[in-house]
Chains A and B, each alone.
Chain A
Amino acid sequence: DAGITQSPRHKVTETGTPVTLRCHQTENHRYMYWYRQDPGHGLRLIHYSYGVKDTDKGEVSDGYSVSRSKTEDFLLTLESATSSQTSVYFCASRGGANTEAFFGQGTRLTVV
């Protein structure tokens, strides 16, 4: 299995506070993705990266920012957490086009 880990695995935070989730992969994969999973919506793409310092928005990017300063790390930041951002967040990575994506174990974020 590909080495992709997310931290933290669980987090409870208060409305209005900034939160950063980390995704770390040891496969030297070029492409990395952040999704959120909510009932009835499946997996929705927040942001993705196609190389170091190269990122782009997904379908639900409002309120989120990302950074990728190294191949192995992809950070997702909620600038000011809101209750609507309570969700399970999955990170994924893959080596190239037409290759499988490997997912991290997910981060359950609760904003109170």
Chain B
Amino acid sequence: QQPVQSPQAVILREGEDAVINCSSSKALYSVHWYRQKHGEAPVFLMILLKGGEQKGHDKISASFNEKKQQSSLYLTASQLSYSGTYFCGTEHGGATNKLIFGTGTLLAVQP
């Protein structure tokens, strides 16, 4: 039930772009994206909701394809500070608000 992320790891040079994908085997109610620096706690980036609403980071964009049960995170003109592990989290509806995270994507931005 854990969402699947791809790629598992990516190395970029500063200024390059990257796309991180997240897919679920179950219908999605919303998708979250978080970034974790080494040795720190994950930090919220954005939420994408059914119907197209987005809330969060103003320099990172994402898409949510409800029919395909997929989301993609777009990192453009990457900066050194973008380095870290990115996690998608998925909600599938229901009153208990269960939040499940994926396996993570390690992003390394080099000078």
Contact = CB atoms under 8 A, between A and B. Distances in A.
A94 B47 CA distance: 13
B99 A33 contact: yes
B1 interface: yes
B102 to A, nearest CB: 5
A48 interface: yes
A3 interface: no
A48 B96 contact: yes
Given A44-B2, A105-B41, A97 B98 contact: no
Interface residues of B, number: 29
B100 interface: yes
Contacts of A54: 96
Interface residues of A, number: 29
Contact of B1 (A33, A59, A98): A59
Nearest to B53: A98
Given A44-B2, A98-B49, A59 B44 contact: no
B81 interface: no
